[in-house]
Amino acid sequence: MHIHLPKPLHGWRAFVGEVAIIVLGVLIALTAEQLVERHRWFSEVRETRLAADQELAHDLGVFEHRLGQQACVENRLQDLERWLQSWRDGRPLTLKAPIGSPPAYGLHFNVWDATAGEARAHMELQTKLAYAGLYDVLKNFGTQRDRERDSWAGLSDYDQAAQLDHQDLLKIRGLISRIRAFNNNVPGFAPYVEKPAATLGIRSDLGPQPQASVRAGIVFCQRLL
């Protein structure tokens, strides 16, 4: 028994040509789709990086601003230690001004926290690691700075104190020690901030500071005794 295969209407050569055209069309369509998808992710990654760079430029400015307050903070702590010792000696000194705290600006992490996982996945590995590392260091800095601000708030409870007992003196001593520990550690953040920032080409930009904050900084740098 012989099986006869049906022949294409226009011959096998024409049939193969038609199939080749169809396959080529599919390949072109798939390639075009991939190019469109790649362009879409390229644009999304670029926009994400631009937004993150602006956010990080501000946060780097906040860090550098606090770094620049180190000497003023130490001077105020020294005055508070003298004031504390005067209470222990039974000859309390009077502070010239409220204890206060160093003016601070808010840190922002919204862009990175809101960035879709796929957008991060389409970044180059070194770029992604630099962003993640920089944000992690700044978040750690922010957490410790918030604790410092709480300690300053605790000290401010003793503004114009008329009487301090032993427990008050111990608490004040502890608050001063916590603030000094953070103040001494602030420069230690610098290498971990500067390296990824340089890798990403980001420069600090705190922007214009409100005059009220500038005046508050000047006042804070004045001695209390």
Report, as an integer, the average pLDDT of 108-125: 79
- DSSP-assigned states of every residue in 24-92: HHHHHHHHHHHHHHHHHHHHHHHHHHHHHHHHHHHHHHHHHHHHHTHHHHHHHHHHHHHHHHHHHTT--
Which pLDDT band holds residue 112 (cuts at 50, 70, 90)?
A: confident
* Rounded Cα distance, 195 and 137, in Å: 11
CA dihedral (110, 112, 118, 122) positive or negative: positive
Which pLDDT band holds residue 108 (cuts at 50, 70, 90)?
A: very high
The whole-number pLDDT of residue 203 equals 95
The whole-number pLDDT of residue 134 equals 96
- What integer best gives the mean pLDDT of the chain? 86
CB 61 within 8 A of CB 99: no
Is the pTM of the predicted complex or chain greater than 0.95?
Answer: no
Task: Please write the tens of the pLDDT for every residue from 190-200.
Answer: 999 999 999 99
Report, as an integer, the average pLDDT of 181-210: 95
